[in-house]
Amino acid sequence: KAAAKGDAMADNMMQSFFGISRSFSGGIGGMKGLGAMAKGFGKGLKGSLHPVKLMVDFIIKVIEQLVLMDKASAAVFKNTGIEGFRDDISRLNMHLMGALGPEAANVAGSTITTIIKGRKDLREMRPDIVSLAKSVAQFEFLGASAESIVDLSVFLDNNLNMSVGQQKNVLHQAYGLAKDLGRPVEEVFTEMAESLPVLSRFGKDFPRIFFDLSRAAKRTNVKISDLQDLVESTDTSENVLRTSARFNALLGGNFINPAQLLAAKPAEKVQLIAEAYQKAEEVTGRKIPQRILRDLYKQFGLDAQKFRNIVKTDFAGFEQKTQDFMTKPIDTDRAIMNKMIEQGTAMGDKLMNQ
């Protein structure tokens, strides 16, 4: 039966080629019929061996992809109850195939499923689902968690009223930040999602606040979660007045301004504390005694090493670097796809050389 189908295809090759967008997951018999179908196609052409073999190989590859896309579409329907995503999966498959090969269709389907489940508000907005799915699939390949990206999407939509296009820009900026800081993509996206409970109160400034604090974490070699603890300890007027008074008393001068500390953004708070400490050492001309240092770091909820890392950090040029990053063009989908292909090739070479 499969061979007969191949004969029919060879009788009118152009018509068959352009009609190949039909579903092949049913009557053909799936993957098992591919070999027989290829033989029938070759027999029908009655041409030279090499062109036939090339065309047979091509037809097999195309049909394999059609079968995979049908299966992915069926999986989306099974998991979400929504059908009709086959064309969307096909477009995503084409975009991802260069990096993912035969797994592209499956990844496209599973990514769409993840978004539909996490973004129920987008169920009837298919262009947005597919657009977001492209970014999610790309960054997941590079190490990020699909769930953390969807969580960020929900927040950016519900709290900042960002369109999917604007959300993608933020995600691409987060990817650019990971590259800029030389950090794994997975860590940056995870930290961004985990920062939502603490930093979400900054509303539309959340992306910029997170990017700034990430840069401060990199420069001080202190985890962003620890810097958030410091920020929390200087977040209310009562805490700031008490902490600033104690800080100035211990160091013997008016080195930190409580009003300035209270008004500062998170990364600026870290910088203010570091520079106030450095100013105290410069004015007194001596190294701060351990007993004072111990009392100081307790004021900010840090241990000795983390506090020392912060106050010994040189923040010269910090604001300019942040500004440069925020105004730098973001990576396009194509640039990210090239990175995926590069990374996939490197992984393949590594496996081959083991």
pTM higher than 0.75, yes or no? Answer: no
Q: From CA 297, how far away is CA 299, in angstroms rounded?
A: 5
Q: Which residues contact 264 (CB under 8 A, 6 or more apart)?
A: 272
Q: From CA 193, how far away is CA 67, in angstroms rounded?
A: 36
- Residue 5: predicted pLDDT: 46
- Residue 133: predicted pLDDT: 79
Q: Which residues of the chain have pLDDT under 50?
A: 2, 5-6, 8-35, 37-38, 41, 45-49, 52, 58, 347-349, 351-352
Amino acid at 29: G
Q: Residue 79's CB: how many other CB atoms inside 10 A?
A: 15
Q: From CA 304, how far away is CA 281, in angstroms rounded?
A: 17
Tell me which long-range contacts 325-329 makes (C-beta under 8 A, separation of at least 24).
Answer: 325/176, 325/177, 325/180, 325/211, 325/215, 326/173, 326/208, 326/211, 328/176
- Residue 182: predicted pLDDT: 92
DSSP H/E element including 67: helix 49-80
SS3 354: coil
- Quick check: 92 and 100 in contact, CB under 8 A? no
Q: From CA 247, how far away is CA 241, in angstroms rounded?
A: 10
Largest CA distance in the chain: 96
Q: Residue 19's CB: how many other CB atoms inside 10 A?
A: 10
Q: From CA 257, how far away is CA 251, in angstroms rounded?
A: 13
- Residue 27: predicted pLDDT: 38
- What is the DSSP secondary-structure string of 261-312? HHHS-HHHHHHHHHHHHHHHHHHHTSPPPHHHHHHHHHHTT--HHHHHHHHT
- Residue 31: predicted pLDDT: 41
- Residue 331: predicted pLDDT: 75
Q: Which residues contact 334 (CB under 8 A, 6 or more apart)?
A: none
